Chain A
Amino acid sequence: MQASFISRHEGPGEEAGRGTALDVRSRMFVTLLSSAVTIAVSSFEGQMVLFAASFLYALSIRRFRALLTAYAALAVMAGMAALFTFGISSLMPSMPFSFKGLAVPFLRGAVMLNVVLPLALTSRIQALLTALKSLRLPFCIYIPGAVMIRFIPTFMNDIRQVAETLKIRGYRLGFGEMFRHPLMMLRLMFTPLLFRSLRTSEELGIAAELKGLEAGGRFVPFRGGAWTRRDTALVLLSVACALLALYCHAVWGGESMGMR
């Protein structure tokens, strides 16, 4: 049985990004490794190693405008957090304000941004589904996971349609309206979406049962994975960077309380 969600997109490994041909699994590995290591490392030097490596990785996809927008949003959030922290520190002298102490949490956020952006901007739905299948997850995890990934674009399209309908009926959807009439906006947007979700789940569920999808069934991916030498090199490089960051953490120590 072909558990495929056939689409017009390219196969796995063929990326939408320009100049990249990495498998989704290698990108997933980098994301997973970064999320673990960035928590463990609390030294500024170690975080800088992670940040430099991940920034080069983010630059490799050549989506400079998206990267710039994401960094602008991160800078705004970081500025607000720094202002609040400064205010709290002036009210509570037991919590001193230091830029170095503030830098490490922000670097963690920047590292995650750098590794998530390439995955989000260059991976196609079909490639993600194939990668999920290759992880050999149990049926009861694979089916909802695949449905979740496949349903996200459909759901976003539903939201766009509901928003257009509301605009046609004279409702103004925006930041100001959200503050003035939050409950009404939630009700107007959320109720149709809830009904759409339930209807879609009914239709997809019936379709899945009619296709004979069940535990123990054999699924054949639409197309096989395409792991290349570049993927192996990326994985090895990411492991080397993680080890270097952990070494920096061991040598210089962290700024965290009781973890020095």
Chain B
Amino acid sequence: MTRFLSCWSARELVVIGVFAAASKVATLLVALAGGGMNPVSLMGKNLIFTTLLVVMLCKVRRPGTLLLFTVINIIVSMLLLGASVTLLPAMFVAALAAEAAMWPGRASSGVGNALIGAAVFDVVSKVLSLGVSWLFMRENPAMMVMAVPFVLTGYIGSVGGLFSGARAVRELRHAGIIHQ
């Protein structure tokens, strides 16, 4: 466990921290600029999150990166933004599932493995977040019916983020910012 925790270099940890902040602020700003829960801003913020996730996974190619990114996001959200403790296991399971999906292709240098990880993370986290929503709104099941289309709309943005992420990585490789 200690070996696993100390395998990251300071530079990789800084990249993870910067991308965690960027994803948090960018998604929040898109949601605010769009005036709340409308389909365009929902898709936009999910698109940005997934794009950033794909770029980060290509920049830091080490098993456990997504898990660490998720843990940091959760700790900061929980302590400073009042995110619910119930989100912790859901996001943790989603990150573990994504890490497991990325494990067979961990040695490959292409963008495919990062895309698989981001896709699995998006699907599992969305499904589990619906479960968490039920916990919040269990007193009124009609509100759950309202939450499902919002989550599905967000997922369309996540799928778009996979394509834009692949494209961004290609451009960044061309510019020499992300190395093979």
B79 nearest in chain A by CB position: A28
CB atoms of A36 and B55 under 8 A apart:
no
A148 within 8 A of B: yes
CB atoms of B17 and A190 under 8 A apart:
no
CB-CB contacts below 8 Å: A174-205 with B: 175, 178-179, 182, 186, 190, 193-195, 197-198, 200-202, 204-205
A11 within 8 A of B: no
In the bound complex, residues from chain A placing their C-beta under 8 Å from that of B69 are 144
B35 nearest in chain A by CB position: A175
A20 within 8 A of B: no
CB atoms of A92 and B19 under 8 A apart:
no
Tell me the complex Cα distance, A101–B144, Å.
13
Tell me the complex Cα distance, A198–B177, Å.
8
CB-CB contacts below 8 Å: A208-254 with B: 208-209, 213-216, 254
Tell me the complex Cα distance, A256–B141, Å.
9
CB atoms of A147 and B139 under 8 A apart:
no
CB-CB contacts below 8 Å: B125-160 with A: 135-143, 145-146
CB atoms of A35 and B136 under 8 A apart:
no
CB atoms of B13 and A147 under 8 A apart:
yes
Interface segment, one of B83-91, B107-115, B116-124: B83-91
A17 within 8 A of B: no
Tell me the complex Cα distance, A148–B80, Å.
12
Partner of A119, one of B8, B15, B80: B80
Given A112-B82, A143-B13, A194 and B140 contact (CB-CB distance below 8 Å): no
Q: Shortest beta-carbon distance, A91 to chain B, in Å? A: 9
In the bound complex, residues from chain B placing their C-beta under 8 Å from that of A55 are none
Given A95-B145, A139-B6, A143-B17, A190 and B11 contact (CB-CB distance below 8 Å): no
Would you list 26 pairs from A and B whose C-beta atoms are within 8 A, ordered by A residue? Answer: A35-B85, A36-B85, A39-B84, A84-B146, A92-B145, A138-B5, A141-B72, A141-B75, A144-B13, A145-B17, A145-B72, A146-B17, A147-B14, A147-B17, A152-B24, A156-B25, A178-B33, A178-B41, A182-B44, A186-B30, A197-B52, A201-B15, A201-B59, A202-B11, A214-B10, A216-B6
